[in-house]
A and B are shown apart, each in its own frame.
Chain A
């Protein structure tokens, strides 16, 4: 385990957007799945040390981030943001060289060329600026910059969402071939299935289901996970349907998903505690019914 969030509450100003989340970043890749606004990126920023928790702790090894050796942490944990994460005024080579340790600056040009080759790019692109590259090339540059410090963990924030599917596939191949561990933030279930052994599903800033990615996607135990999976359009299949009201309920007033949940019962007005159900942890009073395939209305 490289990083661990322990009962972490995160927010902007005084407004919390992630509520008491506990999760470990373990080997084999960890996915954070959820719709826009669910708190995935906020959690990722906390793992990167860019956001201080309102309560709870981020653990780096056996120390909290507040007390950890930040120089070592920055070397171990690096972000891979979307392809737009390059300074538009900087040449590609300069952007990558910024990541190199100070002692290695004399050989920076050679190292930049090696990194560009490692991600499948022509070293000659070092002289270009970001707007002169395609989206896929820019994404590779972002990955090359993260690899410059040889990190143990890459925090990938929607690394393929702005790319077309063929470019996506090549970037996924590249990411899968890297030695570093991965925390992947995405709403794309196919991507998480490819890169992550374990996944956590976030809804309204709470983890509603955690477990092996394959089990989660093949047979969800939370109605929200099932809704996410069923919302993926399939070739030749029926168009996905949006069901229920879009808003979540306020914190501390029961299950956050109950206004959208087709299986909601009066008991859902009491917040469900995460519990073990088969191979995963689920925060749902009706997890067994979801696993059994219940599609709507209270069980009689």
Chain B
């Protein structure tokens, strides 16, 4: 370590090498990223990777344990569990991405505006948020499913409706804190319009906890969609979905463990990958967490 002339400590020797290396925040985050890439790729390439077509029934091969022909065994109607998991990844990841995308866009937009503007606008937005939070999430989703046809899209809508208020709260508290920082005051004194202040200063500085929360929530969304599927409100046969596979195989856990265990592991690995990646993102997005470099 060397001290720069203005006192900034830095690893002078490491700078040229680091400049050419991808900036990997930590090993766990790298592992999470690799796992997630594998999950996403296997979902995208399922038609080419899966040894059997989606939902192909083989009545003579029911409940076969893992073998060379069926790596993860077969389920109670003779479907290949490995192939179902590959195809199911498409549905589960779509639900997670769609729910979190809708929730984040709606929630963060409202939250940042509420936190920055304050006053009556914040009161209105936060009271509406409170109304949505006051409903039990599952009850609200059930009510929606009564009105709408059970489908993957219904699951996305039902979960997103109960998920966005949490992002509004998170973003509002962050934005309210950022709005009092002197660099925001300095921008106001320069006459920068409020929407630009929000876009340039408030939103980027409020996003770190939101990104971390998004990655932590991804696993939760997949599990919630599984619960809705179990209640008949979500993905329907013959759509492959991890949660649905777990629910359908739960009674077989003691006798035919593979039917439940492999889809469960798929959920676990994906949730783990999102979590560690989120933690790594938090570190990478905090500019003060990086190695300081010598100021020339």
Contact = CB atoms under 8 A, between A and B. Distances in A.
Interface residues of A, number: 36
Contact of B205 (A77, A88, A149): A88
B205 A125 contact: no
B182 interface: yes
Contact of B190 (A84, A86, A99): A99
Contacts of B293: 132
A85 interface: yes
Given A82-B182, A87-B183, A137-B6, A131 B292 contact: yes
A49 B288 CA distance: 32
Interface string B283-296: 00001100011011
A85 B186 contact: yes
A222 interface: no
B201 interface: yes
B201 A87 contact: yes
B288 to A, nearest CB: 5
Which of A77, A79, A136, A149 has the most chain B CB within a 10 Å cutoff? A79
A294 B18 CA distance: 68
Contacts of B191: 70-71, 74
A232 interface: no
Given A50-B188, A131-B287, A85 B295 contact: no
A98 B6 CA distance: 26
A79 B186 contact: yes
A88 B295 contact: no
B189 interface: yes
Interface in A56-82: 70-71, 74, 77-79, 81-82
A224 B190 CA distance: 36
A240 interface: no
A114 B28 CA distance: 44
A48 B292 contact: no
Interface string A105-148: 00000000000000000101100110111101100001001000
Nearest to B290: A131
B185 A87 contact: no
B60 to A, nearest CB: 61
A78 B186 CA distance: 8
Interface in B178-214: 181-183, 185-192, 200-201, 204-205
A89 interface: yes
A87 to B, nearest CB: 5
Contacts of A87: 183, 200-201, 205
Nearest to B188: A50
B7 interface: yes
Interface in B249-296: 287-288, 292-293, 295-296
B31 interface: no
Contacts of A133: 6, 8, 295
Contacts of A136: 6
B176 to A, nearest CB: 14
A222 B191 CA distance: 39
B296 A124 contact: yes
Chain A interface mostly helix, strand, loop or mixed?
loop
A125 B295 contact: yes
B189 A98 contact: no
Given A128-B295, A129-B287, A98 B8 contact: no
Contacts of A70: 191
B39 to A, nearest CB: 30
Interface in B213-254: none
B117 to A, nearest CB: 15
A124 B200 CA distance: 23
B51 to A, nearest CB: 48
Given A99-B190, A133-B295, A137-B6, A81 B201 contact: no
Given A79-B186, A128-B295, A132-B293, A89 B287 contact: yes
B201 A85 contact: no
Contacts of A134: 6-8
A33 to B, nearest CB: 21
Given A131-B288, A137-B6, 20 more contacts: A50-B185, A78-B189, A78-B190, A79-B182, A86-B183, A88-B205, A88-B288, A89-B204, A90-B200, A90-B201, A98-B190, A98-B200, A99-B190, A125-B295, A132-B292, A133-B6, A133-B295, A134-B7, A137-B295, A142-B186
Interface of A: 45, 48-50, 70-71, 74, 77-79, 81-82, 84-90, 95, 98-99, 122, 124-125, 128-129, 131-134, 136-137, 142, 145, 149
Interface of B: 6-8, 181-183, 185-192, 200-201, 204-205, 287-288, 292-293, 295-296
30 contacts: A45-B185, A48-B185, A50-B185, A50-B188, A71-B191, A74-B191, A78-B189, A79-B182, A79-B186, A81-B182, A81-B186, A85-B181, A85-B183, A85-B185, A85-B186, A86-B183, A88-B205, A88-B287, A89-B204, A89-B205, A124-B296, A125-B295, A128-B295, A132-B8, A133-B6, A133-B295, A134-B6, A134-B7, A134-B8, A142-B186
> Which 8 pairs between the two chains have the least Cβ-Cβ distance?
A85-B182, A134-B6, A81-B182, A74-B191, A87-B183, A131-B288, A85-B183, A99-B190
